[in-house]
Structure 1
Amino acid sequence: MTLMAPELPIDVDSDTGIWTTDALPMLYVPRHFFINNHVAIEAALGVEAYAKILYDAGYKSAWFWCEKEAELHGIEGAAVFEHYMNRLSQRGWGKFTTESIDLDAGTARVCLEHSCFVYQLGKTGKREEYMFTGWFAGAIDQILEARGSDVRTRAEQTQSGAEEGCDVGYFEVQPR
C-alpha cells in the first residue's frame, strides 16, 4: 500500500491541469520517459557536451529554486540546502543525504541512494548521475550569496551506484 506524502503538497489546477508544489509549476512524467530522453540526448551530443549543458542549467535552476523556497518558508543557510535535499528525495530522483556541509568553507558532501538512473539503467560502470552536479553548486552558491559571501563553488560526482562495487553515489562541493 502506497500513501500520498502530505509533506509534499501537490496542487492540480482543475482548469489548466497545471501541477504546483511549493508555489512552483511542476511536470509529472514516468521515469522511463525521462531517462530514455536523457540517454538519447547524451548519445546525440556526447557525454561531455551534455554534462556541461546540464551542469549550467541545473546550477541556474537550483539557485532559483533555493532563492524562492528560502523566501517562501523563511529559512536560510544550511536549512535551505537540507530542504532542497529533502524535496529532491521526495520527487523520485533518489534519496539525497547531506553528509557534511560547511558554508564558511564553501563545501558539502552529498550521498545519493536509490538513484533513478541506477534503477532504470542498472550497473553501467559509469557515473550516470552527473546531471545533479550543477544542482548542488547552484544551491550552495545561492545560500552563500544570501549570506553575503563572495565564495563560489564547483560540484563533482566522485562515485556512482552504477559503478561496479558501489551501492551509492557521492558528490563533493568545493570552492572554485
Structure 2
Amino acid sequence: MAKIAPQLPIEVDSETGIWTSDALPMLYVPRHFFVNNHMGIEEVLGAEAYAEILYKAGYKSAWHWCEKEAECHGLEGVAVFEHYMKRLSQRGWGLFKIQDIDLDKGTASVKLEHSAFVYVYGKVGRKVDYMFTGWFAGAMDQILAARGSKIRTVAEQVYGGSEEGHDDGLFTVKPL
C-alpha cells in the first residue's frame, strides 16, 4: 500500500488552532475516537433512531458544505457533487464513487469502498454506514435548488460492506 500526503488544502490558524480546508473549519480526530463515540450513542438510542437523527443532521450539513464549496470554487451542477465525493474520500470516510447521477431526474447512486465504519464494525450482518445517507440527499437538493429545480430527494442505503455478500456499500438518491 503506497502512502500519499493529504490531497486537500489544510491550513491551521496559529492563534486559535482551528483547521480549515477550502472555505470551512474542520476537526481532525482519530477514526477510533469518532467511531467509538458513534457506537456508544447507537448503543443507547438504537441504530434506527440514531440513523434518523443523523440523516437530518447530515442532510443539513451536506447542503451547507456544498453551498460554501460551490461559492469557494465557482462550481455548479454535477461538479459540486463530484467535488463533494472527492473531498469525502480525501478525508478518510471511505472511497465514494459516483455510479450515476442525473440532475434532471434527481437521481444518483454512489458506491462506497473502504468505509471507516466497516473497518471498525466488521461484518455484523447489518448496515453501519447510515451516517452518510442524508449527505447524498442534502448535496443533491442543494445542487437542485441552486439550479432553480423544485425537485427534492431522499437517499437510502441499499446495502453495506458490513453485510454478508457485500464488500462495498451502495447508496441511491431519488425524488420524494
- Place the TM-score, normalised by the shorter chain, in its bin: over 0.9
8 Å CA contact 2:42–2:50 kept in 1: the answer is yes
What's the TM-score, normalizing by structure 1? 0.97
Query: CA separation in 1, counterparts of 2:3 and 2:160?
Result: 28
Query: Following superposition of structure 1 onto structure 2, how do residues 1-176 of structure 1 map, counting pairs within 5 Å?
Result: 2-5=3-6, 7-176=7-176
Runs (5+) with no aligned partner, structure 2: none
Question: Counterpart of 1:9 in 2: which secondary structure?
Answer: coil
State the distance in 2 between where 1:97 and 1:38 align.
24
Tell me, what secondary structure is at the counterpart of 1:171?
strand
What value does the CA root-mean-square deviation take over the aligned residues? Answer: 0.9
Residues 23, 68 of structure 2: 8 Å contact kept: no
Aligned equivalents of 1:161, 1:139: Cα separation in 2: 23
How does the TM-score come out when normalised to structure 2? 0.97
Poorly superposed stretches of 4+, deviation over 2 Å? none
1:170 partner SS: strand
Q: Which amino acid aligns with 1:162?
A: S
Distance in structure 2 (CA, Å) of the matches to 1:129 and 1:45: 16
State the shift of 1:23 in Å.
2.1
Cα distance in 1 for residues equivalent to 2:4 and 2:149: 41
Distance 1:2 1:79 in 2: 27
In structure 1, the gaps of 5 or more residues are none
What SS class does the counterpart of residue 158 from structure 1 fall into? strand
Equivalent residues, number: 175
